[in-house]
Amino acid sequence: MTESVGVLPIVSELSIKHFRPKGQFHKERFWERWAHKYGLDDRERHGIFIYDDGAYVDDYGVVCRRVVTDAGVAKLVDSFRNLFEPENFNYHAFGTGTTAEAAGDTALVTEVETRATGVQSGPAANQYRTVGTVSFTATRTVGEHGVFSQLAAGGTLWDRSLVTPTVGVNNGDAIEATYTLTINSGG
Amino acid sequence: MDRLPFQRKREVPVDIQPVAQPAPEPVPFNLPAKPKDQLSDAGDVLHYLEEKYGGKSDGWKEPDGTRVFRLDFGDDRITGRGKTALEAVQHLAKRLGEKL
C-alpha cells in the first residue's frame, strides 16, 4: 500500500435522483418487474420512493466521482486573479453522451434540454455543493452531467461526470443533480 | 519441543503501514484561448488578448479599488483600467484596437 504525500486533491462527487410525475408510472407494474429482481421487501430499500398518487423518485445515490477539467482549474486560477467568479460554476446540464470523462473535456458530448441554475451550499468548510434540477421534454437516455459557468449554452465546463448506469427519462421527468466538491488541505 | 505435523506455526499479524511516496511533480499546462465569439468573462478576454498579441499579462488592484491589467511585450506595455476586471480588460482590448 502506498500513498502520495504533498498532493492536495480536489474530489468531486455527483449524486442524482430521478423524479417521475404522477400518471407516467404504473407502480404495480414497476413493483412486479423490479421488486422480485432485487428481492425487495419494502419500497424504500433500493432508494425508490413511490407516492400514493403514482409519482415516484428513484434515488441513484453517488453515480460518479470524476472529473474536474483542465478548463475548470484554469478558471479557478483566474479566480485568484479576480478574472473570474468561481460561484458561476453553478449551472447543471445533462446529455446523452457516454464517452469516458477526460480532463481535456470542454463540453458535454451531446447536451440536451435547458440547463438548470443550482442552489449553492457549503456542507463543510472544505466543501462546495450545488443542487440543480433539469426537466426533460422528451424521451432520453441520460448518460452525462456537467457543471458549467453559465446558464446559456457554452461557457466553461468545470466538471463532466458520466451517469452510470444511464437513466431513461420521459417527457415530464426531472433529474436532480447534487454535485459536491471537496478540497483537501495538507500536502 | 518439536511440533506435531498438524500444528501450524502461529501467524503473527503484521500491521501494513502505508509507504509514503513523494508527490508527482507539478505539471503546469496552458490552454488555447477561446474563440473571439465565445468570450464570456474577463479571463477569457485576457487570455484571448495574450494569445493574439503574444504578451504576458499581469494585474493588480489599486488602493482606490481600480482594477488594472497590463500586457507586457518586453519593449512595450499596454495597460487597461476599470472598476471591475471585465471593464479593465475591455479597456485593454480597446487600446489594442480590438472590438469585442
Q: In this complex, is the C-beta atom of B93 within 8 Å of any C-beta atom belonging to chain A?
A: no
B29 and A5: CB-CB below 8 Å? no
Cell 447543471 found at? A92
Rounded-to-5 percentages of helix, strand, coil across chain A: 15, 45, 40
A82 and B67: CB-CB below 8 Å? yes
Most confident of A4-13, A37-46, B59-68: B59-68
Residues in A closer than 8 angstroms to B24, CB to CB, are: 4, 7
B31 and A71: CB-CB below 8 Å? yes
Strand A2-5 versus strand B19-22 pairing type: parallel
Q: Which sign, positive or negative, has the C-alpha torsion A127, A133, A134, A139?
A: positive
Distance of residue A85 Cα from the nearest chain B Cα, in angstroms: 9
Give the pLDDT band (50/70/90) at residue A21.
confident
Checking ipTM against 0.90, whether it exceeds it is no
Cα separation of B52 and B41, whole Å? Answer: 17
The segments of chain B whose pLDDT lies below 50 read: none
* Measured CA distances, A101 to A23, A108, A186 (Å): 35, 9, 27
Residue-wise pLDDT tens digits, B46-74:
999 999 998 889 999 999 999 999 999 88
Q: Which residue of A has its CA nearest to B57?
A: A81
Distance of residue A75 Cα from the nearest chain B Cα, in angstroms: 7
pLDDT higher than 90, residue A38: no
What average pLDDT does range A110-124 have in this prediction?
96
Residue-wise pLDDT tens digits, A153-169:
999 999 999 998 899 99
Q: Which residue of B has its CA nearest to A8?
A: B23
* Reported pTM: 0.79
Cα separation of A112 and A62, whole Å? Answer: 21
* Measured CA distances, B9 to A171, B1, B16, B60 (Å): 67, 13, 20, 71
